[in-house]
Amino acid sequence: MTTLSDAEIEALLLSLRVSSVAVLAALPFALAAALLLARRNFPGKILVDAVLHMPLVLPPVAMGYLLLVVFGTRAGLGGWLYETFGIRFVFNWTGAVLAAAILTFPFQMRAIRLSLESVDAGLSDAARSLGARTFDRFRNVTLPLALPGVVAGAITAFAASLGEFGAIITFVSNIPGQTRTLPLAIYTALQTPGGEAAAARLAALSILLALIFMTLAEFAQRRARSFFA
Partner 1 sequence: MSVDVRLRHRQGAFVLDVAFESEASGVTALFGPSGAGKTTIVHAIAGLVRPQEGRIAIDGRVLFDSNRNVDVPVEDRRVGLVFQDARLFPHMRVDDNLRFGWRRAKERMSEADIARIVEMLGLGPLLARTPARLSGGEKSRVALGRALLASPSLLLLDEPLAALDAARKAEILPYLERLRDEARVPIFHVSHSVDEVLRLADRVVLLDRGHVAGKGSVFDFAAGEIGQLLPATGAVIDTRLEGHDGGLSLLSFEGGRLAVARMAAPLGSRLRVRIRAEDVLLAREEPRAISANNVLAARIASLRDIGNGQVDVHLACGRARLTARITQASTARLALKPGEMVFAVLKSVILDPRALRGVGALE
Which residues are near partner 1 by CB under 8 A? 120, 122-123, 125-133, 136, 141, 144-145, 226-229
CA nearest to 21, candidates 125, 95, 82: 95
State in Å, rounded, how far the first CA of the chain is from the last one: 46
CB of 227 to partner 1, least distance (A): 4
Nearer to partner 1, 3 or 129 (CB): 129
CA distances from 108 to 17, 32, 56, 97, 217 (A): 18, 11, 11, 15, 12
CB-wise, 41 or 129, nearer to partner 1? Answer: 129
Euclidean distance between CA atoms 95 and 35, whole angstroms: 27
Give the shortest CB-61-to-partner 1 separation in angstroms.
Answer: 43
Cα distances (Å, whole numbers) of residue 113 to 12, 149, 153: 31, 9, 10
Measured in degrees and rounded to the nearest 5, phi and psi for residue 44 equal 85, 10
- Between 61 and 132, name the residue whose CB sits nearer to partner 1: 132
Of 125 and 196, nearer to partner 1 (C-beta) is 125
Q: Which CB, 51 or 126, lies closer to partner 1?
A: 126
Least Å distance between CB 226 and partner 1?
8
Helices 60-71 + 93-118 axis angle, to 10: 120
Minimum Å distance from CB 146 to partner 1? 10
Min separation Cβ 127 and partner 1, Å:
7
CB contact set of 81 (below 8 Å; sequence gap of 6+): 71, 87, 88, 89
Q: How far is the CB of 25 from partner 1 (least distance, A)?
A: 27
Specify the residue, 3 or 226, whose C-beta has the smaller distance to partner 1. 226
Torsion of CA 55, 57, 59, 63, to 10 degrees: -10
